Structure 1
Amino acid sequence: MEVQWLLVCHGLVTLLVVVSFLCGNWPIFQGTFIERIHFFLTFGAYDYFRRFIHFVCGSRGSNALNSVEYYCCDRPNPILQIMYLGIIGATYYFIATSSFGYIPGYYLSGLHRYTSFLAVGVGILLFLLTSFSDSGTVNSANVSQYLSAYPYDNIIFTEKECSTCKIPKPARSKHCSICDRCVARFDHHCGWMNNCIGERNTRYFMAFILWHFLICIYGVVALALILAGRLKESKVIHILTEYYGIENSLWALAPHVVQWLLGAYNTQILIMMFLAVVSLLLAGFFAYHAKLCLSNTTTNESFKWQEYLSWQRKVSEAKASAEALKASLDELGQERKPQISKWKAFFRRSRLEELEVVKNNMYDRGFLNNIHEIEQIIGILSVDGTLISSASFFCGAMWHSGCPRM
């Protein structure tokens, strides 16, 4: 029973940390303990660690820590790439050692030993393609091509020169301070890939996220079918109803079945929980980037638009406030008008509420044209036909090759 409570507490703490880290700065969590946990995870913990190092080691320790921080955060390095390979390798190892012994099983055929290896292999291939492909480096040799590819909108992109590369800066490009190069149609710098995501590798990045989402879903479903098969082969339901007299209903059997699974197959359940959480994160991340692609916007441009719209809104509010003040002063100079009732004043629309701030993205040319500009994500996902055939293979195998044994 202690193991079950330990697993439940582990799952709740993991969920709290993930939600606090990713969503703690949302308006709904303002003033709550989730916001405080988010602040501690993203800033407070490291700040306390920095103070501790300075207290123990003095300025020499602080300088060493700053050097490590500069290398890890401000310079290209393979740390997160190694972590990714470690996570993939460790997860696959635990799945293989804990679950491959039950394959083939009641609901899964032996084919899934090979489809899982193929799925992980394609994921690593996409990781390497995204990490080591050219993201769209702009230099003196090709700058004229990128200048003609995208016109300046004179809103968030204006004609100017890159102060570092000393070349004209094409619209939609950005100089990455980490990679120290200008990147065409710059989206963001991805530490996991140790590479920028730009015009020439966005397709691989999108395929990488989608494929890993499918892998996680595949892992969750496969492990669930393994546990269901073990439940069937061990005749747990029959034993509980016939020998222990438990009512044959979902609500009566569920606590006992869950307790049996947690006691006998806690490793598989922990892996399922991990894959489920990761799949949710990947689904949200893919949906966000898919929305950007379909509106022909990048992550960098979305931040620029937020800054521009915020500035435009403040300017409009200032103008509206000046007009309201002028109107009030004019009313003071005229005859005193009958006082407006409090109810009418309460429901009367404010001039500031009538403000409308419009986003005019000239690069958004419609749904189909935007998809064509990023070279049609669905077609690129094939990676010369390998990816789509592999996806069909292992997803189809999940439902068609694992027939129950009679």
Structure 2
Amino acid sequence: MAEHWVLACHGLATLLALVSFLCGQWPIFQGTPIERLHYFLTFGAYEYFLRFIGTVFGSKGTNFILSIEHFCCDRPNPTLQVLYLAIIGGTYYFIVTSSFTYIPGYYLSEIHRYTSFLAVAVGVLLFLLTSFSDPGTVNVDNVSEYLSAYPYDNIIYAEKECSTCKIPKPARSKHCSICDRCVARFDHHCGWMNNCIGERNTRYFLAFLLWHFLLCVYGTIALGLVLAGRLKELRVIYILTVYYGIENSFRSLAPHVVQWLLGSYNTQILLMVFLAIVSLLLAGFIGYHANLCLMNTTTNETFKWQEYINWQRKLSEARASAAALKASISGMSSEAKRPASKCKAFFQRSPLEDVEVVGKRNMYDKGYFHNLCEIIFPLSTRRSFLQKKSK
């Protein structure tokens, strides 16, 4: 039983690390150990590593690590693309070598040998489409069309020129420092795709996330049916109850069945756990990006709105504080008044509590249906956009 506890602890630790690394910055985890673990995994560990390298190898060692960081994070490179292909290829290879011998089985027909390959192939195709498609590069030839397609809201977007490309900067666009280009309706730069996610390829990115979520769910269920089929074919329940005298109940049989599965099919169980965890993480990403698309906003705009609201709050608090100070000074210069009771002063509202912050006003949100159509059929691919460009 000790092995079972070790595997369970290992799985929980892996899940905690993955959730902390990928989701630790979410507001729901603010002020929790998951947020602190996220900081350690993303920044703290690297800082300690740099200090260790600097102490042991000096400035040359630190500069060497920083040059690797520049190559991996500050310029386009295929490292994560190769890693993705290795993960999906290696996972499918282990599934084929460990489980295809049991297909066809009691619950699965032989067709799953081919549908699984087709599902993986479609996933790789969507990966290639997202990686190598144009995200919506803004250049001299199409900048005027993008300027008319996305008007300025004069809140988070105002008329200005891109200091790098030296062209007018359309609303909702951003100059990607990694790709060194302006991208229309910029969402984020995806290292896994080695490409920006923008106006023209957001649809491929969403399809990639959704398909890989379904692919992981399909793999988890298929492996579960393989194991259930082996239990049925080998009559494990019958042997445990008849020959070993174990009570025919879930509570009595479960530990013995799990022990038998871990001893005989540990590879399939590890693959199931891996696919299940990845599917949960992908479900979170899909929900986040689907909500952005339905609201017709982007990851980049979410951060811009947050910065704008924080700036407004600080400005309002400063004005309220200045007004309160002015009122206090004028009160001191006037005739002495009877001091208020401490109880009344305690329950008196602070002027800062009356600060009002103007909420988010997204002028690009035109309803779920229109927003979804804008993702599936980008503005730059429509006839009206192309006619403007030809004129």
TM-score (norm 2): 0.89
How far, CA to CA, are the matches of 2:51 and 2:331 in structure 1? Answer: 59
1:350, 1:376 → 2: CA distance?
51
Partner Cα separation in structure 2 for residue 139 and residue 289 of structure 1 = 27
Q: What is the distance in 1 between the residues matched to 2:160 and 2:217?
A: 46
**Unmatched tracts of structure 2, length 5 or more:** 382-391
Structure 1 equivalent of residue 385 of structure 2 = none
Contact 1:3 1:263 in 2 (8 A): no
Give the CA deviation at 1:211.
Answer: 0.3
**Map of 1:219-258 to 2, 5 A cutoff?**
219-258=219-258
- The count of aligned residue pairs is 377
Query: 1:41 deviation in Å?
Result: 1.5
Question: Contact between 1:4 and 1:263, CA under 8 Å: does it hold in 2?
Answer: no
The alpha-carbon deviation at position 71 of structure 1 amounts to: 0.8
Partner Cα separation in structure 1 for residue 13 and residue 274 of structure 2: 13
Please give the per-residue CA displacement for 1:17-60, whole angstroms capped at 9, x wherever unaligned: 12332344556766665444333311232223223333343333
The residue aligned with 1:77 is 77
Alpha-carbon spacing, 1:264–1:344, altered in 2? closer, same or farther (3 Å): farther
Q: State the match for 1:166 in structure 2.
A: 166
Residue number in structure 1 paired with 2:102: 102
- Does 2:263 match 1:260? no
Moved more, 301-310 or 334-343: 334-343
Residues 123-153 of structure 1: CA distance to partner in whole angstroms, max 9, x if unpaired?
0000000000001011111111111111011
Q: How far does residue 340 in structure 1 lie from its aligned partner after superposition?
A: 6.0
Gaps spanning 5+ residues in structure 1: where? Answer: 381-406
List per-residue Cα deviations over 1:289-329 (Å, max 9, x = no partner): 11111111011111100000000111122223333444455
What is the alpha-carbon distance in structure 2 between the residues aligned to residue 358 and residue 242 of structure 1?
A: 68
Q: 1:174-207 deviations in whole A, cap 9, x for unaligned?
A: 1000000010111100000000000000000000
The answer to whether the aligner puts 1:4 opposite 2:4 as a matched pair is yes
How far has the Cα of 1:89 moved from its partner?
0.4
Counterpart of 2:156, as a letter, is I
Hey, what's the Cα distance between the residues in 1 that align with 2:199 and 2:345? 55
Q: Take 1:338 and 1:61, find their aligned partners in 2: how far apart are those partners?
A: 67
- Is 1:93 aligned to 2:93, yes or no? yes
SS in 2 for 1:374: helix
What's the counterpart of residue 61 of structure 2?
Answer: 61
Cα distance in structure 2, aligned partners of 1:187 and 1:329:
49
Helix, strand or coil for the counterpart of 1:361? coil
Match of 1:397 in 2: none
Q: Does 1:360 align with 2:356?
A: no
Separation in 2 of the partners of 1:10 and 1:178? 36
For residues 201 and 10 of structure 1, the distance between their equivalents in structure 2, rounded to whole angstroms, comes to 38
| Equivalent residue, structure 1, for 2:211 | 211
Mapped partners of 1:357, 1:240: distance in 2: 67
Query: After the TM superposition, which residues 241-390 of structure 1 pair with which residues of structure 2 at under 5 Å, given as runs?
Result: 241-328=241-328, 333=334, 336=337, 339=340, 342=343, 345-346=346-347, 350-354=350-354, 355-375=356-376
Does structure 2 conserve the Cα–Cα contact (< 8 Å) formed by 1:24 and 1:37? yes
Letter in 1 for 2:362: N
Determine which structure has greater relative contact order: mean sequence separation of CA pairs < 8 Å that are 6+ residues apart, divided by chain length: 1
Separation (CA, whole Å) in 2 of partners of 1:137 and 1:268: 44
RMSD of Structure 2 on Structure 1 (CA): 2.4
Structure 1: distance between partners of 2:318 and 2:12? 47
One-letter identity of the residue aligned with 1:362: M
Tell me, yes or no, if the aligned pair for 2:309 and 2:357 is still in contact at 8 Å. Answer: no
Equivalent position SS for 2:376? coil
Distance (Å, rounded) in 2 between the aligned partners of 1:128 and 1:26: 29
Matching residue's letter, 1:128: L
TM-score w.r.t. length of structure 1 = 0.86
Q: How far did 1:9 drift?
A: 2.7
Q: Find the counterpart in structure 2 of residue 186 from structure 1.
A: 186
Counterpart AA for 1:101: T
Distance in structure 2 (CA, Å) of the matches to 1:298 and 1:315: 25
**Shift in Å, 1:356:** 4.0
CA distance in 1, matches of 2:300, 2:374: 18
State the SS of the aligned residue for 2:189.
strand
CA 1:287 to 1:30, structure 2 compared with 1: closer, same or farther past 3 Å? closer
Answer with 323-332 or 58-67: which moved more: 323-332
Name the CA distance, whole Å, in 1 between partners of 2:226 and 2:21.
32
Q: Find the counterpart in structure 2 of residue 404 from structure 1.
A: none
- CA 31–356 in structure 1, closer or farther in 2 if over 3 Å, else same: closer
**CA contact 2:312–2:357 (8 Å) conserved in 1:** no
Q: Do 2:172 and 2:184's aligned partners in 1 also have CA atoms closer than 8 Å?
A: yes
Cα 1:239/1:344, change in 2 over 3 Å = farther
* Aligned 8 A contact 1:296 1:364 in 2: yes
2: CA distance, partners of 1:361 / 1:30: 26
Mapped to 1, the partners of 2:123 and 2:345 lie a distance apart of 62
